[in-house]
Amino acid sequence: MAATLDRVLLIREAPMPANHTMGDFSQDAQLVQAARGGDRDAFGGLYERYSRMVHGVLLAHVPYAEVDDLLHDVFLIALRRLDSLREPTAFAGWLLAIARNRANDFHRRPRSAEEFQDTSGRNDPDEQEARAALAAIQSLPEAYRETLTLRLVEGMTGPEIAARTGLTPASVRVNLHRGMKQLREKLGKSATHE
């Protein structure tokens, strides 16, 4: 099962940014203000800072094949609604709410039968194992699902998850600990049934 968890880490490779600090919230506010003024590079900076977090949250809620499109949708919605953000320092939480709402919208829309037939990666055992591990993560309670996805798939540290999501570091540690315990149980059960 350790191999399965290791393969989950390979789903998405992205450079690791520096950890967030309290000064980052003021930097977010500066970027938001500049983006409101039409500075596309400022919004690009917000995208750089938060795309991994949004990707992880979406991955915790929707099928892997849909995540990239929804990621772009979330940032387009954020760009269009940036003027509605009352407190620029709250950008991260506001963006998370948009991502979660977009994931909920995805599950509400009617889908055709062809959309359910995802055959990509069916012949690659590593891809199948990674998808099974991701499915196990997605079956966990939401609090564990998001923090585990941000940690295992996106490679974010506990303090980084806390800073970006607004959770306390203690909550992140608890969610990761309990989530890993449940994930090991689920993956252990699925291995014994094969």
pTM attached to this predicted model: 0.74
Q: For the chain, which residues make up each domain, given as ranges? A: 2-11+19-109+125-192
pLDDT tens digit string along 135-186? 899 899 888 999 999 999 899 999 999 988 889 999 999 999 999 999 998 8
The per-residue DSSP string of the chain comes to -HHHHHHHTTS---PPPPPP-HHHHHHHHHHHHHHHTT-HHHHHHHHHHHHHHHHHHHHTTS-HHHHHHHHHHHHHHHHHHGGG-S-GGGHHHHHHHHHHHHHHHHHHS---GGGG---TTSS-HHHHHHHHHHHHHHTS-HHHHHHHIIIIIS---HHHHHHHH---HHHHHHHHHHHHHHHHHHHHHHHHT-
pLDDT tens digit string along 88-145? 999 999 999 999 999 999 988 876 544 545 555 456 787 888 888 888 998 998 889 9
CATH fold for domain 2-11+19-109+125-192: Rna Polymerase Sigma Factor; Chain: A (1.10.1740)
